[in-house]
Amino acid sequence: MAKKFKRQSQENVVMRCIIFLSLVGLIAASIYLLKHPEILTKHAGKKVVQPAPVMKEKRFSIKLYFADTQSDYLIGESRSVIFQEGDTAGNVKKIIEELIKGPKTNLIQTMPRGTALQGIALKGTTLVVLDFSPELARNHPGGSLAEMQTIYSIVNSILLTTPSLKELQILVDGQSRETLKGHIDLRAPLKANLSLIKKG
């Protein structure tokens, strides 16, 4: 009986030690967390970095519109370009870059010398705003026909190649202009003009 009592006493002592040490550990952990709250919150506001979506590239045959040497019309010249799926602004930029390079046939360049694209802005889902360098107006030769061909070589090349876009507005050096050289009104967005394209 005495041995049993002694064993129970020892077990009680061991249990009390375990409970005591557990309490000491909890208290110590609580004090540490109170002194270092960032441990609890450092992951709460952490942004999860998602991998950038992979854009699919696809080669397209598009038409760029340049001036005809034999008439007042614009003629489409086929050009092979690589577009990225879903990147409307990037694809518009590629079209303009190809237009600035000029025709590869005997058609007439419509973009004035030194013209560069300075910016692209998509407004909603159907309007694109293009900001050109001052050379678009400064180096333009003038005349109603040349001005019309320059404006609509841009408008038709973009809008007829990018069906989701319905209107295009042209800025020069970040500013809206009444005209380039006194003829075509640029204050409002423009739509494609099929009547200026030579058929056949």
Mean pLDDT of all residues in 145-170 = 96
Q: Where is average pLDDT lowest: 18-27, 59-68, 146-155? A: 18-27
Q: Dump strand ranges (E) for the chain.
A: 57-67, 74-84, 117-123, 127-132, 167-172, 175-176
Mean pLDDT of all residues in 109-126 = 96
Helix axis angle for 144-159 and 88-101, nearest 10°, is 140
With a CB cutoff of 8 Å and minimum separation 6, the contacts of 113 are 135, 139
Q: Tell me how far apart the alpha carbons of residues 199 and 135 are, in angstroms, rounded to a whole number.
A: 31
Confidence band for 164, pLDDT divided at 50, 70 and 90 = very high
pLDDT of residue 16: 74
Is the pTM value of this prediction over 0.85?
no
Confidence band for 27, pLDDT divided at 50, 70 and 90 = confident
The full DSSP string for 89-114 is HHHHHHHHHHHHH--SSSPBP-SPTT
Q: Over 90: is that where the pLDDT of 89 sits?
A: yes
- CB 158: neighbour CB atoms within 10 A? 21
Confidence band for 39, pLDDT divided at 50, 70 and 90 = low
Confidence band for 129, pLDDT divided at 50, 70 and 90 = very high
Using alpha carbons, select from 170, 175, 173, 171 the residue that is nearest to residue 157. 170
Contact 200, 70 (CB under 8 A): no
Confidence band for 18, pLDDT divided at 50, 70 and 90 = confident
Q: Where is average pLDDT lowest: 35-49, 61-75, 159-173, 175-189? A: 35-49
Contact 172, 132 (CB under 8 A): yes
pLDDT of residue 88: 94
What mean pLDDT, rounded, does the chain reach?
86
Using alpha carbons, select from 61, 185, 77, 165 the residue that is nearest to residue 123. 165
